Amino acid sequence: MLLGSGELGKEFVIAVKRLGCHVIAVDAYADAPAMQVADECEVMTSMLHGDELDAIVEKHKPDIIVPEIEAIRTERFYDYESRGIQVVPSAKAANVTMNRRAIRDLAAQELGLRTAKYLYAASEEELRKAVGKIGIPCVVKPLMSSSGKGQSYIKAESQIHDAWIAAQGGRGDSNEVIVEGFVKFDYEITLLTVKQADGPTLFCPPISHHQVNGDYHESWIPAHMKEEFLKEAQEMAKKVTDALGGAGIFGVEFFVCQDGVVFSELSPRPHDTGMVTLGHTLNLSEFELHARAVLHLPIAEISLQRPGASAVVLAPDDTFKSPDYVGVDEVLRDAEADVRIFGKPLAKPGRRMGVVLKWGKNGDSPEALKEGARKLADKISVVKGNIG
């Protein structure tokens, strides 16, 4: 049972279907991307309705529950796990990582990982005090959100009120926020970390990415970083994923600075920046790796096949149903490119609707691949369709 049925869930469903699984996709709206490829689907009033979730679990009695989003009653997972249902990666991992307070305190206080300075605030007044202690510039994020939802970058005191209001648009039912000191970094990476039930922890080559307002827009693999920094990141990623337990892929994010790496965030599932692996940049995509780990199937190795980049296709500044796509043919004229249209039934301003994949040969520069992916993605327009 997949809880949350977006584009990441869709690719995961395809991966596990190829391994013989029967999949029930669940989300708060009909015809979500993963529902289009699943065997069965359920539409909830809200993913935060615990009793409704209990009823769906009882109805289908799944062997495995795989959360794809943050806004779920993750505290219910402990009960499911006690009843013999496998929760991915584990009930503890899902519960801790879906809340920025829990994962940050685990990383910084319990495990001693290097992180940005941070404080919490549960009101605008507390936010002002926290910003005063952390200092400006700083970043404000809801405790429960992803893909930059509700995130603000504060450069002046006059922006604190707007940052508080923006943070109330997170994906949970808590109004608490985290205030992070600004980290002066050279670039950011995602280190996809695979925990196996009966094997060693494996790492994908580091993926670098470009974000706009905290939301992924481009990613490329491999990120060229110093070997000692990569080893440091791997050690930190293993330490935190070992503490969380379970089996599956984790997207562990780091800031890479002049003097080393700083732990940023962690997702207990395939990561949006990892969509670059759909371009056969690795011997197995992040979704295939997640599927094997979840099903306790062996992963012989993870190897880089070729460098590549990805760039998202965004909806225009309009809201409409049944979107269509113009320019896909232009992208596919490039023999070293491909497109994934997510199949979202509703276009909303700035919403990710697809991704363009561009790959090259060993020795090709990341800059050239990034530029190539972005130029191709810009050829695709999301327009109003004729259906519906």
Catalytic residues: 146, 148, 253, 265, 272-273, 352
Contacts 24+ apart (CB under 8 A), 45-48: 47/3, 47/4, 47/71, 47/72, 48/72, 48/73, 48/172, 48/173
3-state DSSP call for residue 207? strand
Sequence-distant (6+) residues with CB within 8 A of 127 are 121, 140, 160, 163, 164, 177, 179
Pairwise CA distance, residues 170 & 148, whole Å: 9
CA–CA separation, 5 vs 381, rounded Å? 24
Q: Is-contact 213 148, C-beta < 8 A? A: yes
| Residue 12, strand partner residues | none
Beta-carbon contacts of 345 under 8 Å, excluding residues fewer than 6 positions away, are 29, 30, 31, 32, 321, 322
The Cα 35–Cα 248 span in angstroms is: 21
Nearest to 119 by CA among 107, 98, 105, 106: 105
Query: Of 236, 272, 193, 201, whose CA–CA distance to 106 is shortest?
Result: 236
Distance CA 94, CA 70 (A): 9
Residue 279 to residue 277: CA distance in whole angstroms: 5
CA torsion sign, 351 to 94 to 75 to 6? positive
Residue 86: beta bridge partners?
64
Distance CA 237, CA 250 (A): 9
Sequence-separated (6 or more) residues with CB below 8 Å from residue 369: 220, 307, 308, 309, 358, 359, 360
Residue 94 phi/psi, 5-degree rounding, is: -65, -40
